[in-house]
Structure 1
Amino acid sequence: MEEVTLYILQESLFSFEDLIQIHSKDRLPIFFSALDLRPYAKELRSRSPRGAGGHCREGILRALLAAPLEHIQTFTGLHHRLETDLRFRYQCGLSLDREAPSIATLSRVFADLTKKNLAKQLFDDLVKRCRQEGVIDGSHVAIDSAAIHAYEEKKPKRKSEQTGNANWGAKFDSFGNKVTWFGYKLHLAVDTQSELPLALEVTPAHVNDGEMAPGLIKTVTAETDVKFFMLDAGYDQMKVYEAARNVKAQAIVPLNPRGEKEPPAGMSTNGTPCCSMGFAMTYWGADDDVLKFRCPHATGKVDCPLGMTACSSSNYGMVVKVDVKDDLRRYSSPHRDTKRWKELYNERTSVERCNSRMKTHLTADSLHVWGIQKVTTHQYLNAIVLLVSALSVTGKKNKIAV
């Protein structure tokens, strides 16, 4: 008991790393304490007299969720663990006086989970609960995609495009190297404060990131008000800015130099007006959608040979105002390159850390199912583990505090 308490008392909003460091025999009761799977298990009950071996559906569902947390990658591995580890089987709520669920039974329940879309339903319910309990804030959201390698046999690109499942994808890594893979993309929208997933989509690997962002933006804002969406330069597309604007949010996206057109006359690439002498003007705040810029000589940013007299008779210097709505892509509130804009963009790393947890500590990139629907269920189970981990650790902290 003392060992468990030491981990849980650490100060952290989301202590997934704390949870996975706890020994399995102590971790699983904490994890399952935050879950009531009865409504979902009820939907999995078979009306066939043969059923899925007559095993408790709630117990099998628990086992399917415990598998990513225990880094069990296959139904074979899960069956073996249930068969040989009686404590694990008991903690999953499965009977000890009969054989463990077979590989076929586990696979059949997983297929039923997929067919009835129950993993998504459980995920959505948990996101809502995390919001209600203050675990998720949701006002700042980061969006990105991650490569997921397929279990299917590799196929030529032309053939794989016809299936709507695994395909060839390519991305540039942080060093500018082109990386290719055969499989899928996991598109994630993540709360930047808690680093927890809010929405996800799975697509074949060749699907462009920018195509998926508007849908994720719409999904996230259906339940909560979002102020900012942080995305990398791969999402620098007008449809992304418009999607954020439609829900009264601001997309924080670096301008992608590839395919960049010349900026409007008298305007720098990042949307800063230039004075008559060609100097970039000084950003001086915003009033809702209107950005204000002042003479750079008046603000001490440059030493203009003509001073302020050539542009304005006022001691305040020339002022230019720009409406963000005139060009949603080039103009941003807060203005690009300001300290505030950079602070917001830096929050984008939260989605990278979420992706890393799902792929490194869980089993998001260890597929042993094929077909995009089953792969999507697999990703939802991994995302559910993150949400439940946060709820269980937070709940345990609250109990201890009381």
Structure 2
Amino acid sequence: MDAGYDAAFIYSQALDQDGQAIIKLNHRGHQKILQGFTDDGTPYCPAGHSMAYYGTDYKKLINKFRCPRKCGQDVTCQNECCCESSYGYIKRISIKDNPRLFCSPHRGSRTRNELYGKRSSIERLFSVLKGHLNMDRLTKRGIEKAFTDVTICLITFLAGTIIQIRKQKEQKAA
């Protein structure tokens, strides 16, 4: 969803239903981001660099972050995080603590960007349904009647698509 749906109750409801809301953050109207975290919820290491996202434990709903230097990022630090081990400093963040800010997949990760990018195709469909098939002007009250109107809009859209495909096939055959 776009940033207009960025509300804590939506994230909580998605978690309650064993899902995850993929919504762009809207910083207006929300309190300041927690201290020690970037705008997208990535924690800072003790040296002040944003840590590297390193996956999610879905059973415990915990995001894992590692020392950016040990993950191959070119950062300079004076060993402030005491990451003597080859694995480096690790920080685990519970998604349940703040489902709006801490989510899975983590904001900024490649997987999340791919999922969020898929919303553009459904947005185009909604644009056609609202702009050309009057789905934005439902005149009947009640969920059943609204469902009927939306179903009619979708049937009309699919019928138009089938006609376009048939015309294209006829033109190629000719």
Give the TM-score, by structure 2 length.
0.77
2-structure distance, mates of 1:245, 1:390: 36
- Is 1:334 the counterpart of 2:100? The answer is no
Partner residue in 2 for 1:344: 115
Q: CA 1:260/1:370 → structure 2, altered by over 3 Å: closer, same or farther? A: closer
SS of the counterpart of 1:342? helix
Task: State the superposition RMSD in angstroms.
Answer: 2.9
Larger relative contact order (Cα-Cα within 8 Å, sequence gap ≥ 6)? 1
Shift of 1:364: 3.0
- The percent identity for this pair of structures is 35
List per-residue Cα deviations over 1:347-391 (Å, max 9, x = no partner): 1113312212323443435x6x85545983544421343467789
Partner residue in 1 for 2:69: 297
- The one-letter code matched in structure 1 to 2:121 is S
- The one-letter code matched in structure 2 to 1:305 is C
- Is 1:316 the counterpart of 2:112? The answer is no
Partner residue in 2 for 1:268: 38
1-structure distance, mates of 2:152, 2:97: 43
Higher Cα radius of gyration:
1
2-structure distance, mates of 1:276, 1:364: 52
Q: CA 1:358/1:310 → structure 2, altered by over 3 Å: closer, same or farther? A: closer
Question: Residue 242 of structure 1: which of 3, 6, 12 is its match?
Answer: 12
2-structure distance, mates of 1:266, 1:280: 9
Map 1:2-401 onto structure 2 (within 5 A).
Answer: 231-288=1-58, 289-306=61-78, 308=79, 310-364=81-135, 370=139, 372=141, 376=146, 377-386=148-157
Q: CA 1:313/1:387 → structure 2, altered by over 3 Å: closer, same or farther? A: same
SS of the counterpart of 1:322? strand
Instruction: Flag structure 2 segments of 5+ consecutive residues without an equivalent.
Output: 165-174
Shift of 1:338: 0.8
- The one-letter code matched in structure 2 to 1:352 is E
1-structure distance, mates of 2:151, 2:14: 25
Higher strand share: 1
Instruction: Flag structure 1 segments of 5+ consecutive residues without an equivalent.
Output: 1-230, 394-402
2-structure distance, mates of 1:285, 1:232: 24
List per-residue Cα deviations over 1:79-128 (Å, max 9, x = no partner): xxxxxxxxxxxxxxxxxxxxxxxxxxxxxxxxxxxxxxxxxxxxxxxxxx
SS of the counterpart of 1:251? coil
SS of the counterpart of 1:272? coil
**8 Å Cα contact 2:22/2:115 also seen in 1:** yes
Q: CA 1:355/1:279 → structure 2, altered by over 3 Å: closer, same or farther? A: same
List per-residue Cα deviations over 1:295-341 (Å, max 9, x = no partner): 111223232231x4642232221111111111110011111011110
Shift of 1:243: 1.5
1-structure distance, mates of 2:131, 2:34: 45
Q: CA 1:317/1:346 → structure 2, altered by over 3 Å: closer, same or farther? A: same
SS of the counterpart of 1:320? strand
Shift of 1:285: 1.4
1-structure distance, mates of 2:93, 2:101: 11
SS of the counterpart of 1:252? coil
Aligned length: 160
1-structure distance, mates of 2:96, 2:139: 44
- The one-letter code matched in structure 2 to 1:304 is T
